[in-house]
Amino acid sequence: MKARWTLLAVAPLALAACEDEATIGDEPIETGGEAAGEVLGGTISDDMIPLDQLTSTSPPAEEAADEAEESED
């Protein structure tokens, strides 16, 4: 019974989304414009990463799991 009420509530919303044109209020929205700009060629390399400036480290490993394995042996 609950699924039927959910379907009845969602069905009008799904049908409302099936319009032919996108609109804001009563005015249609222009779609399908053209992209502008220039695409530049190039490559990406590891030389671009500032390795000498990075200070990140990984989180410490959990020692509790290592101690539990050693006690089982």
Tens digits of residue pLDDT in 35-73: 788 888 888 788 888 888 888 888 888 776 556 666 655
The predicted-structure confidence for 19-38, as pLDDT tens digits, reads as follows 565 566 666 666 677 778 88
The whole model's pTM is what? Answer: 0.24
- Please check the confidence at residue 6 and state whether its pLDDT lies above 80: yes
Tokens representing 59? Answer: 């989180």
CB-based contact 22:28 (threshold 8 Å): yes
Give the mean pLDDT of the chain. Answer: 75
Scan for tokens 């700009």, then name that residue.
Answer: 37
CB-based contact 14:6 (threshold 8 Å): no
CB-based contact 69:62 (threshold 8 Å): no
3-class SS of residue 23: strand
